[in-house]
Structure formats: C-alpha cells, structure tokens
Amino acid sequence: MRELLERLGKMAGALVTNTGLMALMLFHASIYAFTPPIKFRNIFKQMEFVGVKSLFVVVLTGSFTGMVLAYQSFNALKRFGAESLVGPTVALSMARELGPVLTGLMVSGRAGSAMATELGTMRVTEQIDALHTMGVNPIKHLVVPRILAGVLMLPFLTVITDFVGVVGGYFVGVHLLDINPGVYMGRTMDFVNVEDLFYGLYKSIVFGLIISLTACYHGFYTTGGAEGVGKAATNAVVLGCVLILAFNYLMTSALL
Amino acid sequence: MIEIIGLKKSFNSKKVLDGVDLAIERGKITVIIGRSGEGKSVLIKHIIGLLRPDSGKILLDSKEITALREREFNELRKHFGMLFQGSALFDSMTVAENVGFPLKEHTGLHDDEVMKVVAEKLHRVGLVGIEGMMPADLSGGMKKRVGLARAIVMDPEIVIFDEPTTGLDPIMADSVAELMLETQRALKTTYIVITHDIQLTYKIADMVAMLHQGKIIAKGTVEDIKKNPNPVLKQFLEGSAEGPIKVY
C-alpha cells in the first residue's frame, strides 16, 4: 500500500514538474517570439519542414479518409434513402473533426517526433550548451521557430486535408457509387458553410501548438544519451497525440 | 584573473564540488586535471554560467559573475569561447556556418566579411578549403580543429577546453596540443583546459590544478606538480591502479 502511494506521489510530482516546465517554456517562447531580432530564416525553415514536407502524408491521409467516409456514410444513409447526403456528411466530418484531428496526429508522428529527436540529439551532443556559451538563447533560437511553425502551418495543412478529403469523397460518391454530381455538390453547398471550416481551423491552431510544444519540451530536456533521445521522440508523439484527442473533445464540447 | 572561492555544488544530495578554491591567471594556460566524474565539467560549467553554485562565488577581474542575471551573463559569454569534448558542432550547418555562427549572431558583419574571418580562423587551425563540408563528413581531429576555430572566432579573452584530446589518436592529440599552444601564444588568450591527459598537461600547462573529491588538492607549475608528494596526485600522474584512489 505504501509503495503504491509512493509511486502515485512520484507520478503526481512528475506531472506537476513537467506541466510547470512546459508552461514556463511556452511563457518564455511567447516573450522571445516578439523580442527582436526576429529570426525569420529559422522560422521559414521550420515552416517548410512542418508544412511543405508534411504535405504528402496529409494528402494521403485526407484522400483515403474522405473516400472511406463516402463508402461508410453511403452504406448508412441508403437505409433511409438519403444517399444524397453523402456529400455534406463527408465535408462536415472532414471540416469539423477529421481534418484537424487526423492532420494533427499525422504531423505529430512525422514532424513532432523529428523535432524531439533533433533537439534531443542537440542536447546530448552539447550543441544546446554550445549555443548558451556563445551567448545565444536556445529557446529563442530553437524553440520559438518550431512553435511558430506548428501554429502557423497546421491550419494550412488542415485546409488541404479537408479539401482532398472532400475530393476523395466526391470521387467515390459520384464515380463509384453513382450519386448525381449536381446533387452531391448542391447538397454539400446547402449544408456546409464557412463557419464549419473555421471551426476546424481554430482546433488546428491549438493542435499545432500542442505538437510543437510537446516535441520541443521533450527534446530540449532530453537526458541519457541515445536511449534518452529515443524516449524523448516516443514521449513527444504519445503525449502530443493524447493531448490532441483530449483537447479535441474539450474544444468540441465548448464550441458546439 | 578568475578567482573561484569556496564553490560548492550538489546534485540530488551528491556533493560534486565541495569548496573549490582556485585562482586562474590571465594570458596563461591553466589545466585542471582529475579523474572522470570528479566534477571538472561541472566546474567549468560554473565559470561559463551554465550552472549556478549552491554556495561560493566566482570573480572575473574582481567582479562577481555568479550573481549575474541570465541576460547579463549572455553579454559576458561573448568574451568566452568553448571547445566541447565532442566538439558540439551544429549538424545542420556547414563548417563555414558553424565557425561564422557567433559572428552572425553578435556582429553586424556582412556575409562576405564573415566568410573572410571564417577562412582566416580555419587557416589558423590548419584547415583550408573545407568551408562547405558538413560536420558528419569530418574526422574527430578535424572536428576539434573546427570547434577551436569557432571558439576563437570572436577573439575571446578566455577559451575553455573540455577534454580536447579525448577520442583522438596520440598523433592527432599531439597536433591538437601544438595547435592550442600556437594559438594561445599568438592571441595571448586565457586558456582553461580540463583533461585527464597527462601528456597534454605536461606539454601545454603554465599552471596545473588537481580536482579530487570536490576540492583542489594540489596546484602549481608542471615542475611543482611533478615534485608534489601528495599520494593521490602521484598515483594519478603515474596512472597506477595501486594507491589511495580505489578503482572500485
């Protein structure tokens, strides 16, 4: 019993410490983000890494998800004779939930793990210490560009995921399930509006922050050599994904 | 003059530095020797402000630097250079970008002026025409040289070396030692070296101090150190498993 309580106590202590350090990192990054000189080159480099280099994976994810969604919704809706609602079902699901969530999860797996690995390697090979000794603030130099890239690029990637999802759904609905294209597009336009798109984009901004902050935090405070770098990458992705799903629920319940 | 006075530091109740007292003269090479895990790296991390002491202080030209705020320390660090054990070159940058990095961060020099200084510093450490190479393509010795070029690129007043010869073959280690002597004599910079390489110590040191169990147990010139009867120091210098220092 005592052992169990000790373990719980240690876990609670670690949770408080980690949350505190992460909040502190975010606080410092927020201040340094607006403190000149702004390192645009570093920011653009990270935006390219998070955004452009994630394009392929989000296009694949979005299109296949849209196609599956069209099949599944067609299968369900035809029982009520409402096959014409496949278009809006796909578009609404993509814009409000699946677009931001799947983009977040995929970017967390691709870019979040890479960020944590890169910063973790820099930590264990003393490159972060080297920045300190040169009078360069590592939070400003390494963390700020990554957090900004996450926050700025996730909405763009989400729009692309939404778009290819809708295109995938259209392809399956119109070309494979023989829904009239005019009906498909007309119904989609009737039921989906710009607010639905923005609803998903608000979420994606938060997910971008979650992905980059958890990755930077775990990478920046890596200890224990190569094994520690591996753990940092795993922890960054696991925590990032769990927080994305949890915050998605919280935001859905708050925004609806 | 750098004065370290009564410096103490513990990690999770383990005492690493237990009242270190040491005076480091300007314009000289001071070598701090000691076994692995005795706190040599911890000591130099205090000098450069990466760690803060539990108690004690460090004075730089009579000004206490251990009490400085991070922003003030950042300014001070521009007068320091450091060569790390593993060189700590930035993997994502070329050799030229690595060496020129402090200049780009802290001076308003244009790219061509930065490149000129980079080429000059690389030439000083015996490297020519490798500006475009990536750190992953360099040998251990070349990495050390590039690391040294980066450490001296801002013409710092004090350069700190963390195990500069570890991982190098004896010939390359000697060539790095020669390079350190040559650059120090040319620039009249204060060099602080931590190492357990006795050959390196004998070759370059103006002053030697031995750190053992969190304290400086002996200090003096190379000749003084060789004559010192302290059994711990003698065992360390002789590299013997027999003596007061127990291996296990």
Better-predicted residue by pLDDT, B150 or B141: B150
pLDDT for A217: 95
Q: What is the pLDDT of residue B248?
A: 64
Structure tokens given for B193:
């070296």
User: What is the Cα–Cα distance from B115 to B119, expressed in whole angstroms?
Assistant: 6
Shortest CA distance to B190 belongs to which of B216, B164, B151?
Answer: B151
Decide if pLDDT at B244 tops 90.
Answer: no
Shortest Cα–Cα distance, B220 to chain A (Å): 28
> Under a CB-based contact definition with an 8 Å cutoff, are residues A138 and A128 in contact?
yes
pLDDT tens for residues B218-239? 899 989 888 888 888 888 888 7
* Optimal mutation site among B70, B101, B157, B192, interface A, most CBs of chain A within 10 A: B101
- How many of the other CB atoms lie within 10 Å of CB of A195? 10
Helix (H) or strand (E) holding B223: helix B222-227
* Cβ neighbours around A151 below 10 Å, total: 21
**Cross-chain CB nearest to B90 (options A127, A129, A133):** A127
Residue of chain A with shortest Cα separation from B48: A133
pLDDT computed for residue A1 by the predictor: 80
A136–B75 CB contact, under 8 Å: no
Which of B81, B88, B105 lies closest to A125 in CB terms? Answer: B88
Contacts of A137 in chain B (CB under 8 A): 74
Q: Is B93 on the interface with A (CB under 8 A)?
A: no
- B88 contacts A130? CB cut-off 8 A: yes
Q: Tell me the pLDDT of chain A (256 aa) as tens digits.
A: 888 888 899 889 888 988 899 999 999 999 998 888 888 888 999 999 999 999 999 999 999 999 999 999 998 888 888 888 888 899 999 999 999 999 999 999 999 999 999 999 999 999 999 998 888 889 999 999 999 999 999 999 999 999 999 999 999 988 888 888 888 888 888 888 888 888 889 999 999 999 999 999 999 999 888 899 999 999 999 999 999 999 999 999 887 7
Mean pLDDT of chain B: 88
Reported ipTM exceeds the 0.90 cut: no
CA angle A82, A85, A86 (to 5 degrees): 110
Residues spanned by the domain of A162: 2-255
- State whether A130 and B74 contact (CB < 8 Å): no
Q: Which residues of A touch B92 (CB under 8 A)?
A: 118
Cα A206–Cα A128–Cα A220 angle in degrees, nearest 5:
35
Contact between B105 and A135 using a beta-carbon 8 Å cutoff: yes
Q: What confidence category does residue B41 fall into, taking pLDDT thresholds of 50, 70 and 90?
A: confident
Question: What is the sign of the dihedral through the CA atoms of A90, A94, A97 and A103?
Answer: positive
Q: How far is B235 from chain A (nearest CA, A)?
A: 31
B223–chain A nearest CA distance, Å:
33
Comparing alpha-carbon positions, the chain A residue that sits nearest to B159 is: A133
Chain A partners within 8 Å of B82 (Cβ): 130, 133
Q: Cβ separation of A135 and B78 shorter than 8 Å?
A: yes
User: Residue B243 above 80 pLDDT?
Assistant: no
Tell me the shortest Cα–Cα distance from B18 to chain A, in angstroms: 24
Residue type at B160 in one-letter notation: I
pLDDT tens column, A151-197? 999 999 999 999 999 999 999 988 888 888 888 888 888 888 888 88
Optimal mutation site among A134, A139, A142, interface B, most CBs of chain B within 10 A: A134
Minimal C-alpha gap between B86 and chain A (Å): 7
Are the C-beta atoms of A92 and A162 separated by less than 8 Å? Answer: no
Closest CA to B168 of B160, B159, B178, B158: B178
CA–CA dist A144, A42 (Å, integer) = 9
Q: Residues B28, B33, B37, B43: is their CA dihedral positive or negative?
A: negative
At A34, give phi and psi (nearest 5°). -110, 10
CA A182 – CA A161 distance, rounded (Å): 23
The mean per-residue pLDDT over the stretch B87-95 comes to: 91
What is the amino acid identity at position B213?
A: Q
Angstrom distance (rounded) from CA A243 to CA B34: 47
Query: How many domains, in total, are found in chain A?
Result: 1
Instruction: Kindly report the nearest CA distance between residue B144 and chain A, in angstroms.
Output: 14
Which residues of chain A have a CB within 8 Å of the CB of B77? 132-135
Binary contact (B84, A137; C-beta < 8 A): no
